[in-house]
A and B are shown apart, each in its own frame.
Chain A
Amino acid sequence: MAERILMKGNEAIAEAAIRAGCRHFFGYPITPQTEVSAYLAKRMPKVGGCFLQAESEVAAINMVLGAAAAGVRVMTSSSSPGISLKSEGISYIIGSDLPCVILNIQRGGPGLGGIQPSQADYNQATKAPGHGDAHVMVFAPSTVQEMVTCIFDMFDLSEQYRVPAMLLGDGLLGQMMEPVEFPDVKVTPAEKPWAANGHQNKREHNVVNSLYLQPDQLEAKNIERFERYAQIQANETRAEAFETEDCDVLVVAYGASSRIARSAVMNARAQGLKVGLLRPITLWPFPKKELLKASKTAKDILVVEMSMGQMVDDVKLALECKKPVHFFGHTGGIIPTPAEVLEQLKTIAGGAAK
């Protein structure tokens, strides 16, 4: 049995990456993810790995591209403004069908925004991580333990589907200390016959590339990639349902705001309100089926986010606007309180009971 230790979210992610076989990390300092780099700067040399502080996020993501092209497990970490800079490289990585893990420990925006926790990069992560018809898998854990298990899965899945995986966290989860256990698993990276790692005069030369000048070839490549996206949507969607069987109001929240929503749901239940919570763990693919199931008895939906409301659009889309979808959130680094969410639930439930 693995031991339980108390760790900060960002450090736990870093340790998980190492245990998942990642020996290459390229990053650029930015609050509130700095502990990831600091931890790996210490640990990588001890395990024979490479920690490199790049000259910019632009360079860091392109180093990731190079290392991923060579076939190794590689990770980079940043926060909102840095992810915007990385989006060019992310698009090329997607276009080159390379696996890698990208962390976005979000902070408030737009622009330089603030350094307090935020979930305002949902749309960027799930809709347009870079130019072109492009997606990355997006994971949104809500505990330090879940961050650790996600990291292991993200390395495996991104190699399996040759699609990058992004962890969408926030400053709250990154800075929070919780007990964690590291899974005792044998890591087996996928075979990479496509890697540009030197043909050793034994095979044809490999090319890692995102350029297709012939429109029919480019379209075919995109269609092939979207077939993989469809498999991901069919097989890798994850969500947790809490007290949803008989709920009149369903709260939908992910990451840090799901922790607040859960407290509000428990308090509401204690007061006799029939409310439940659906917590998406994957944001792309969005857990549509799970949402439909969890909202079966619900008359109203309440989406709670630390933004002006972004995931709320996906909830409406999934429900095809058949039920009223309400939104409550704070942005700019203000964290909603359980009491505020409870207040919303009471108002909505009052209306729903009428």
Chain B
Amino acid sequence: MTTVYEKSKMLTDAPMSYCPGCTHGIIHKLVAESISELGVEGRTVGVAPVGCSVMAYNFFACDMVQAPHGRAPAVATGLARALPEGVIFTYQGDGDLAAIGTAETVHAASRGENIVIIFVNNAIYGMTGGQMAPTTLPGQVTQTSPYGRDVKTAGYPIRICEMLATLDGTAYAERVSVNSVPNIRKAKKAIKKAFENQIAGRGFSIVEVLSTCPTNWGLTPVEALKWLEENMTPYYPLGVYKDITAEEGK
């Protein structure tokens, strides 16, 4: 019998706590597969955020540290400085990374910290029940923007990849999406590349993954994938924002 598909050994058998149809699970799978394929599970340490993925430490079969809300890049910095041979990554939501943890994110990037950040942008605070996130789109209705995000009072969404690409310390910044099979393939490539960068000591890599929150968007999983495509990708264009390996190749 030939094995056609197998769950990555980098994922534990713990049942995931995500809502049905949430794309957090897909992103976990891509991260786990990338680490497994690179054969570095044994020296990988992941950092879980505060958010729906707070329990990521139960799902990834590598050593894990759970960080305070937004502080994952600082925790990862401590790990990376203490473990020069370690493969260090964080897995963070948009509230965690782009609101309360903005300073930690920007400075980890500016230091060129040799870590990977998997940034899950679902344009909302999932875990706390659907409040406005820094990445919530103009006009988007959330629990704390019940009349739609009014940019006059609530300001504009933050485009993290574009911002971090301006920093000299950033080695790699790419935005991907997991709303379709071709996009999932591209996302996998990006995530694996980020880990390759880390292993090669190239410095700070971030992969922003556009992700769905059917529960708090008030949509079915299928509608949510469509909503992402139609509303998020125009505001958050997919693509590579910085890649020092490509620049070196020029």
Q: Are B57 and A209 in contact (CB under 8 A)?
A: yes
Residue of B nearest to A71 (CB): B82
B219 to A: closest C-beta gap in Å: 27
Q: Are B62 and A88 in contact (CB under 8 A)?
A: no
Chain A, interface size category, equals 35 or more
- Residues of the A chain whose Cβ atoms lie less than 8 Å from the Cβ of B75: 62-63, 65-66, 69
In the bound complex, how far is the Cα of B57 from the Cα of A210, in angstroms?
11
Residue of B nearest to A58 (CB): B71
- Residues of the B chain whose Cβ atoms lie less than 8 Å from the Cβ of A96: 65-66
Q: Are B65 and A59 in contact (CB under 8 A)?
A: no
In the bound complex, how far is the Cα of B47 from the Cα of A88, in angstroms?
17
Q: Which of B12, B43, B71 contacts A200 (CB 8 A)?
A: B43
Q: Which of B60, B66, B77, B104 contacts A210 (CB 8 A)?
A: B66
Q: Are A198 and B45 in contact (CB under 8 A)?
A: yes
B63 CB-CB contact with A under 8 Å: yes
B120 CB-CB contact with A under 8 Å: no
B29 CB-CB contact with A under 8 Å: no
B38 CB-CB contact with A under 8 Å: no
Stretch of A48-56, A146-154, A226-234, A325-333 contacting B (4+ beta carbons < 8 Å): A48-56
Q: Are B68 and A59 in contact (CB under 8 A)?
A: no
- Residues of the A chain whose Cβ atoms lie less than 8 Å from the Cβ of B86: 70, 197-198
Given A67-B79, A197-B86, A199-B42; A62-B104 close (CB under 8 Å): yes
Given A50-B81, A198-B86, A207-B57; A59-B71 close (CB under 8 Å): yes
Given A196-B45, A197-B63, A211-B54; A62-B68 close (CB under 8 Å): yes
Q: Are A70 and B42 in contact (CB under 8 A)?
A: no
B16 CB-CB contact with A under 8 Å: no
B195 to A: closest C-beta gap in Å: 14
Q: Are B81 and A196 in contact (CB under 8 A)?
A: no
- Residues of the A chain whose Cβ atoms lie less than 8 Å from the Cβ of B81: 24, 50, 52, 63, 66-67
Q: Are A89 and B71 in contact (CB under 8 A)?
A: yes
Which parts of B49-108 form the interface with A (CB within 8 Å)?
54-55, 57-58, 60-68, 71, 74-83, 85-87, 103-104, 106-107
Q: Are B74 and A208 in contact (CB under 8 A)?
A: no
Q: Are A68 and B78 in contact (CB under 8 A)?
A: yes
Q: Are B64 and A92 in contact (CB under 8 A)?
A: no
- Residues of the A chain whose Cβ atoms lie less than 8 Å from the Cβ of B54: 211
In the bound complex, how far is the Cα of B86 from the Cα of A206, in angstroms?
14
With A65-B71, A65-B75 given, can you name 18 additional A-B contacts, CB distance below 8 Å?
A54-B107, A55-B103, A59-B77, A62-B77, A63-B77, A65-B67, A69-B78, A196-B45, A197-B45, A197-B82, A198-B44, A198-B45, A200-B43, A201-B42, A205-B62, A206-B64, A207-B58, A209-B64
Question: Which residues does A use to contact B, with CB under 8 Å?
Answer: 24, 26, 50, 52, 54-56, 58-60, 62-72, 74, 88-89, 92, 96, 195-202, 205-211
Task: Sample 9 A-B pairs with CB under 8 A, ordered by A number.
Answer: A24-B82, A63-B75, A66-B76, A66-B78, A66-B82, A67-B82, A70-B45, A92-B68, A207-B65
Question: Which residues does B use to contact A, with CB under 8 Å?
Answer: 12, 41-45, 47, 54-55, 57-58, 60-68, 71, 74-83, 85-87, 103-104, 106-107
